[in-house]
Structure 1
Amino acid sequence: MIAFPCVALYNVVELNFIIMATFKRRSGLYFWSFLAATWGIAPHAIASLVQLFRPDLVGPGLVTLYLTGWWFMVTGQSLVLYSRLHLVLQNTKILRLVLAMILTNVFILHLPITILAYGKDAGIKAFRPPYNVWERIQITIFFLQEVIISSLYIYEAVKLMRMRRVFALNDDKGRARRLILHLFIVNVIIVLLDINIILFEFTGLHNIQTSYKVLVYSVKLKIEFSILNKLVELTRSVSRMTSDNDTPVNRVARLPEFVDPERHMQMQNGALDGSSLENDIWTGPEAKQGTTTEVVVREKEEAKRMSVED
């Protein structure tokens, strides 16, 4: 229990050097949320150490130290995940829903447990049972929140890998597959670390859970740089493959995300041999901006022109 917050504090010091060396432009949601999540670890870790060495030292000051670190550490981590989600996901509706989920949980999870924590620390017995119940609820919901965001990363990253397979036969000797495997393994490790927090809490090891949680969040922030670098590498590789002239591949890259790139490539091949185009376009529930119609019309005109030339 002493080792967990001590290692977390070491990670905070290291993370500050990494942040200052990595970010050339110190602005934007990703930078500030990363900084807030990092600095939130320190007061939480210090409060854990104080309680371990001085269990008789209680009061609103120690509770405030715990809660301040917890607010910044937990919600800051979720905002870090959200702020880089646009690298693999361009659906603004889903991005807004994710942000709304994070902000909603601030009000329904952070605020009640804060009030209950101060009441419990003040010695009011009526606050203790609801605090114990809400503590488990908030840990579970925050865990599910991060699992949802991580799942979106995995799903969208796999879609990017599919685009690489469509666009490039060689696929850089499996480079895309290694990137996706890296992202998948790292996200699985993060989920397993969070599961341990839940297990400690539901088995009655609350003090261990409190000390262990601060270490987990510091490790997740260090892993974050690895995930970010891989995401940037993957998206740039797809962008390079689709940045040539106005080829069929390039037109697929500019399609809205409700168009399946593999089926659209089949449509391109069908246009070359004069086959029908009506059934080769796939649209999802968000096909409402007219973009799909424009694609079909353009491809029909191209098919007619090539048929005339033949």
Structure 2
Amino acid sequence: MANDSASHAAESLLFQKPAEDQLRSHVFAAFAGIAWYNAIELIVLCFVSFKRRRGCYFWSLLISSACIIPHVLGYVMLFFPTGVTPGWTGMVTGQSVVLWSRLHLVLQNQRVLLAVLLMIIIDAISFHLPIVILLYGNVAVPIGDWATGYSIMERIQLVGFCLQELIISGIYVWETVKLLKLRPEGRPNGILHQLLIINIIILGLDVAVVVINYVGYYAVQVMFKPVAYSIKLKLEYAILGKLVAIARGSYNSNELPSSVREINPYPSCPSSQEPSGVESRRNVHRQYSPPWFSEDSHQSSDMSSRL
């Protein structure tokens, strides 16, 4: 029964009657417009926010943002299904790579980081490849086994990628909570609380995409998903701004783990204006400048290379 319902949903999405459900058509148009607007804004923000346009964090943000455009276009122009797959793969897996890149800022355990990266690679192969094959088969033969297989696999990959992002965000939230315990009060503590709230919102968007699909609104889900991903990428820039505030703030670096302690709180600051004790702290701790700051010629470490 569930498979028949899912198959009917996929078939109705690909072959709608022109006069069927005008309200749904208007919802599709609204979601498509919002997603495209957010994607263009995200691309601009990506180039404006980073002074050194390199590293995994920068490229994953840029690719994930740019892929929203062809993903939405593919579902709008259903007669050209080739546009669906490249945008979808880059948008979904790109978002996971963004989360993994940001995880380096709060986590130093290389085994955990490697395990998360392997999970992203395995999930990309396991979920993207079957969907690509089934999607083309469903478009060529919209009834029968192709439609049923696509409907089943589409739900599996939706839950799989949602769990993947929940795991990565969960690790980030866990490490952030550990930082909160190290800073019981003060400005960094408030910023970390805001980072925690933003990540909870991201988790909520992931769950919303799955819920919309499983309550029977598959057609709405395929257009809401790029909107959700564009919102999540916008929240990444909010997180980026909070990390800038931490890097610029003045606090005792000994209280924080090395992943945060290495962020240089006084980037590109003339020596005549540096607060007392800055030089001594630079000599004690290895530091590097985050990718959103310009770097002096004397600062040789590069945060982007780590990401």
TM-score normalized by the length of structure 1: 0.70
In the alignment, the residues of structure 2 paired with residue 178 and residue 85 of structure 1 have an alpha-carbon distance, to the nearest angstrom, of 19
SS of 1:2's equivalent in the other structure is: helix
In the alignment, the residues of structure 1 paired with residue 84 and residue 223 of structure 2 have an alpha-carbon distance, to the nearest angstrom, of 11
Structure 1 segment 222-237 matched on structure 2, within 5 A: 222-234=234-246
Q: What's 2:56 paired with?
A: 29
Which of 192, 198, 214 aligns to 2:204? It is: 192
In the alignment, the residues of structure 2 paired with residue 254 and residue 178 of structure 1 have an alpha-carbon distance, to the nearest angstrom, of 20
1:45 partnered with 2:72? yes
In the alignment, the residues of structure 2 paired with residue 92 and residue 232 of structure 1 have an alpha-carbon distance, to the nearest angstrom, of 24
In the alignment, the residues of structure 2 paired with residue 235 and residue 20 of structure 1 have an alpha-carbon distance, to the nearest angstrom, of 20
8 Å CA contact 2:176, 2:196 repeated in 1 = no
Using the TM superposition, give the Cα deviation of residue 13 of structure 1 relative to its aligned residue in structure 2, in angstroms: 1.5
Using the TM superposition, give the Cα deviation of residue 48 of structure 1 relative to its aligned residue in structure 2, in angstroms: 2.8
Runs of 4+ in structure 1 displaced over 6 angstroms? none
2:63 partner amino acid: A
Structure 1 segment 1-310 matched on structure 2, within 5 A: 1-51=28-78, 58=79, 62-123=80-141, 125-165=144-184, 171-172=185-186, 175-234=187-246, 240-242=251-253, 249=254
RMSD over equivalenced CA pairs, Å: 2.1
Which sits farther off after the overlay, 13-22 or 138-147? 13-22
Using the TM superposition, give the Cα deviation of residue 75 of structure 1 relative to its aligned residue in structure 2, in angstroms: 0.3
8 Å CA contact 1:84, 1:228 repeated in 2 = no
In the alignment, the residues of structure 2 paired with residue 160 and residue 96 of structure 1 have an alpha-carbon distance, to the nearest angstrom, of 22
In the alignment, the residues of structure 2 paired with residue 236 and residue 138 of structure 1 have an alpha-carbon distance, to the nearest angstrom, of 40
In the alignment, the residues of structure 1 paired with residue 111 and residue 77 of structure 2 have an alpha-carbon distance, to the nearest angstrom, of 44
Change (3 A) 1:253 1:29: closer
Change (3 A) 1:253 1:189: closer
Stretches of structure 2 lacking an aligned partner (at least 5 in a row): 1-27, 260-307
In the alignment, the residues of structure 2 paired with residue 235 and residue 23 of structure 1 have an alpha-carbon distance, to the nearest angstrom, of 15
8 Å CA contact 1:4, 1:211 repeated in 2 = yes
1:95-115 CA deviation, whole Å, 9 max, x = no partner? 001100000001110111111
In the alignment, the residues of structure 1 paired with residue 170 and residue 246 of structure 2 have an alpha-carbon distance, to the nearest angstrom, of 17
Aligned residues: 231
Q: What's 1:295 paired with?
A: none
2:171 partner amino acid: L
Using the TM superposition, give the Cα deviation of residue 177 of structure 1 relative to its aligned residue in structure 2, in angstroms: 3.2
SS of 2:183's equivalent in the other structure is: helix
2:55 partner amino acid: G
In the alignment, the residues of structure 1 paired with residue 206 and residue 133 of structure 2 have an alpha-carbon distance, to the nearest angstrom, of 25
8 Å CA contact 2:57, 2:98 repeated in 1 = yes
Using the TM superposition, give the Cα deviation of residue 176 of structure 1 relative to its aligned residue in structure 2, in angstroms: 3.1
In the alignment, the residues of structure 1 paired with residue 178 and residue 248 of structure 2 have an alpha-carbon distance, to the nearest angstrom, of 14
Looking at both structures, which has the greater relative contact order when contacts are Cα pairs under 8 Å and sequence separation is at least 6?
A: 2
Stretches of structure 1 lacking an aligned partner (at least 5 in a row): 52-57, 166-170, 243-248, 256-310
8 Å CA contact 2:32, 2:223 repeated in 1 = yes
